[in-house]
Each structure stands twice: as C-alpha cells, then as structure tokens.
C-alpha cells in the first residue's frame, strides 16, 4: 500500500509556450519522466518532444527527439484540448531531460508554437 510522504516525491517543471520551439532543460542530469500534462488552445496539434540530452547539446531542426506525444488541436480556443499521461515506472533518460514543443510531427521538427497557447507540466525525478 502506498503511503503519503512529505518528502521524496516528484519534482515538477511547468511552462507556458512562447512563440518559439520552447526548448527547455527539465533536468541536466540523468532522470526519469513520470507525468506529462499538456493543455492547448492552439488550432493545430502540438508535439511535446523529449531528448536524452541537454538543450546545449540539442540542435533543433537537426537532432531527432527520442520520443514525443501529441496534444490534439483545440476545436475552439474556448474549449481547448489536452493530454494527461502517467508513467508509473518512469521513462528513463540516461543523460538529461530536455523537451521542446512544436507544431510539426517530425521528430526533428523546429516549427514554433504560438505564444500563450500551450501549458506543459512534467513530473520527474
């Protein structure tokens, strides 16, 4: 049985999209991703791309993400769309955890999102 704890839980990173590829270091050393939440009011799907490296060692438009998740397009900005995923055993990153949020599906895509249209929260250790 799991018991509540006051220490030792997940760390969280959260950000709101800028009019960029939103490349962000979540953790600059090895770790695991346990939780992903994405909400979007963008009229196109957005893709959260994960890299097993730091932003300094990722060349957007060239470096392919090791995996990604799509948040569907919002039917209307008032309604929005979302994606919430949990990974009970975590997704391992042996070097670092870096993410980018783009509007293109290709793993190496570098297409900027619109500013203030996507909210991303990641739980990690």
Read off the pLDDT of residues 47-92 as tens digits, 9 standing for 90 and up.
999 999 999 999 999 999 999 999 999 887 778 899 999 999 999 9
Reading the block at residue 117, the tokens are: 């249209």
pLDDT at 3: 66
Three-state secondary structure of the chain: CCCCCCCCCCEEEEEECCCCCCCEEEECCCEEEEEEEEEECCCCCEEEEEECCCHHHCCCCCCCCCEEEEECCCCCCCCCEEEEEEEEEEEEECCCEEEEEECCCCCCCCCCCCCCCEEEEEEEC
pLDDT at 46: 95
Say what percent of the chain tops pLDDT 70.
Answer: 95
> Can you name the residues that pair with 86 across neighbouring β-strands?
35
pTM higher than 0.85 for the full model?
yes
CA distances from 53 to 45, 58, 98, 125 (A): 25, 7, 6, 15
């Amino acid at each position: 049985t799991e018991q509540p704890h006051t220490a030792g839980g997940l760390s969280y990173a959260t950000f709101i999209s800028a009019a960029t590829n939103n490349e962000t270091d979540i953790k600059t050393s090895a770790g695991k991703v346990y939780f992903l939440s994405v909400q979007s009011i963008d009229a196109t799907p957005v893709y959260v791309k994960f890299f097993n490296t730091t932003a300094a060692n990722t060349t957007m438009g060239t470096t392919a993400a090791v995996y990604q998740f799509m948040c569907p397009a919002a039917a209307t900005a008032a309604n929005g769309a979302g994606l919430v995923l949990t990974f009970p055993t975590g997704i391992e990153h042996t070097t670092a955890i870096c993410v980018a949020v783009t509007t293109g599906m290709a793993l190496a895509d570098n297409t900027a999102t619109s500013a203030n249209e996507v909210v991303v929260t990641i739980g990690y250790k």
